[in-house]
């Protein structure tokens, strides 16, 4: 759905705090308040398990918050070090565990850690020097990359493959010792983007900064020319509300604030939303976005869904499509 001329700004009312605003730039969508909780640190990444629980990791204080399907938040686990990314292994050879990329201040104990649904954690894969400071942690659900887990070490800016038994090997040396590196990634399981791995980078070297597609052979090519820096990638895997598109948190202007962009399969992009710290998609087809209110030490998570009129149009379109098939 292309952006309409009208811009709707939706403000989540947190006692009138101005920095609690999300802005949606497509008038076909609305925001619903989903969860709020107190925190002295910002959310970094989010992921759902198969039961509809949302897990939110916080980089600076090493905690993971759990938000149930009623929007109630509680501390799931804490004291894990510097947690950059988090992913869910359910439905894969990695099992029903959360996996998180953990850093330590001196890099001597950097790991991918595994966390069960009771909050018990254990070491899963070692990321000690020279392959330290892991960022992304994503699992291949396409089968095109061996069904393995992938992470990046910002110490070298290399991409690593991790087997279900925890074995680590270098998959690609791209982007190879740049100032910056890989900060986000995800696999396309919709088929709309060729079932490939996509990587978000931010580097002082423009040739290695932005949104890239990684081949199963370890070769990277720029996918979106307009995005000059990127941090978070997510796919609408259900196709319910967002046409099965890719979304990327990034910049087309390095002097501007980051925005959430809808990226189409031809590599073009369109600004969708501002005010977002991180985002993910739920099993219900909705988009979930997060931001941090610095003045109140509070995390806000909101649910982005179509406006009622848009839902009616979607339903009518689906009905017409079914009739044509029959």
Q: Give per-residue pLDDT as tens, 19-28.
A: 448 999 999 9
For residues 168 and 323, the model is more confident at 168
Structure confidence at residue 324 (pLDDT): 58
Confidence band for 10, pLDDT divided at 50, 70 and 90: very low
* pLDDT value, residue 321: 53
pLDDT value of residue 23: 94
Q: How confident is the model at residue 47 (pLDDT cuts 50, 70, 90)?
A: very high
Spatial distance between the Cα atoms of 235 and 222, rounded to a whole number of angstroms: 18
Of residues 180 and 45, the one with the higher pLDDT is: 45
Mean pLDDT (the chain) is 90
pLDDT of the residue at 308 = 87
The predicted pLDDT at position 106 comes to 83
CATH topology of domain 8-325: Neuraminidase (2.120.10)
Dihedral pair phi/psi, residue 240, rounded to 5°: -75, -45
Which residues, in sequence order, are bridge partners of residue 125?
Answer: 112
**pLDDT surpasses 50 at 296:** yes
User: Over the Cα atoms of the chain, what is R_g?
Assistant: 19
pLDDT above 70 covers a percentage of the chain that reads: 90
pLDDT band at 72 (very low <50, low <70, confident <90, very high): very high
At 17, the pLDDT band (50, 70, 90 cuts) reads very low
Every domain of the chain and the residues it spans = 8-325
Predicted local confidence at residue 323, as pLDDT: 54
What's the rounded mean pLDDT across residues 162-175?
A: 96
Q: What is the mean pLDDT of residues 84-88?
A: 97
- Res 182: pLDDT: 94
pLDDT of the residue at 325: 55
**Residue count of the chain:** 326
What pLDDT is stored for residue 317 in this prediction?
A: 58
319 — pLDDT class (breaks 50, 70, 90): low
pLDDT, average across residues 45-70: 96
The predicted structure's pLDDT at residue 303: 97
| Helix, coil or strand: residue 315 | helix
Residue range 211-238: mean pLDDT, rounded? 97
Determine which of 34-48, 124-138, 275-289 has the lowest per-residue pLDDT on average. Answer: 124-138
Please tell me whether residue 19 adopts helix, strand or coil conformation.
helix
Say how far apart CA 272 and CA 29 lie, in whole Å: 10
Q: Tell me how far apart the alpha carbons of residues 282 and 288 are, in angstroms, rounded to a whole number.
A: 7
């Amino acid at each position: 759905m292309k952006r309409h001329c009208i811009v709707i700004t939706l403000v989540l009312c947190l006692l009138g705090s101005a920095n609690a605003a999300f802005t949606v730039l497509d008038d076909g969508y609305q925001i619903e308040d989903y969860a709020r909780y107190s925190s002295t640190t910002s959310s970094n990444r989010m992921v759902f398990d198969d039961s509809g629980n949302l897990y939110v990791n916080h980089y600076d204080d090493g905690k993971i918050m759990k938000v149930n399907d009623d929007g109630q938040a509680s501390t799931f686990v804490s004291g894990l070090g510097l947690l950059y990314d988090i992913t869910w292994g359910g439905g894969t050879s990695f099992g029903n565990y959360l996996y998180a990329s953990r850093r330590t201040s001196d890099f001597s104990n950097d790991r991918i850690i595994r966390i069960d649904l009771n909050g018990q954690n254990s070491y899963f894969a070692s990321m000690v020097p020279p392959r330290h400071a892991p960022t992304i942690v994503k699992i291949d659900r396409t089968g095109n990359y061996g069904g393995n887990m992938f992470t990046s070490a910002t110490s070298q800016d290399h991409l690593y493959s991790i087997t279900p038994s925890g074995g680590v090997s270098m998959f690609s040396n791209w982007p190879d010792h740049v100032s910056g590196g890989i900060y986000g990634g995800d696999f396309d399981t919709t088929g709309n983007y060729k079932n490939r791995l996509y990587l978000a980078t931010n580097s002082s070297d423009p040739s290695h900064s932005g949104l890239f597609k990684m081949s199963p052979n370890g070769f990277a090519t720029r996918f979106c020319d307009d995005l000059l820096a990127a941090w978070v990638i997510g796919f609408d895997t259900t196709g319910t509300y967002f046409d099965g598109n890719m979304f990327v948190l990034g910049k087309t202007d390095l002097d501007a604030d980051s925005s959430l962009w809808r990226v189409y399969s031809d590599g073009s992009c369109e600004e969708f939303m501002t005010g977002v710290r991180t985002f993910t998609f739920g099993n219900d087809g909705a988009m979930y976005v997060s931001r941090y209110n610095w003045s109140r030490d509070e995390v806000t998570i909101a649910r982005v869904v179509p406006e009622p009129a848009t839902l009616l149009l979607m339903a009518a379109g689906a009905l017409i499509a079914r009739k044509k098939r029959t």
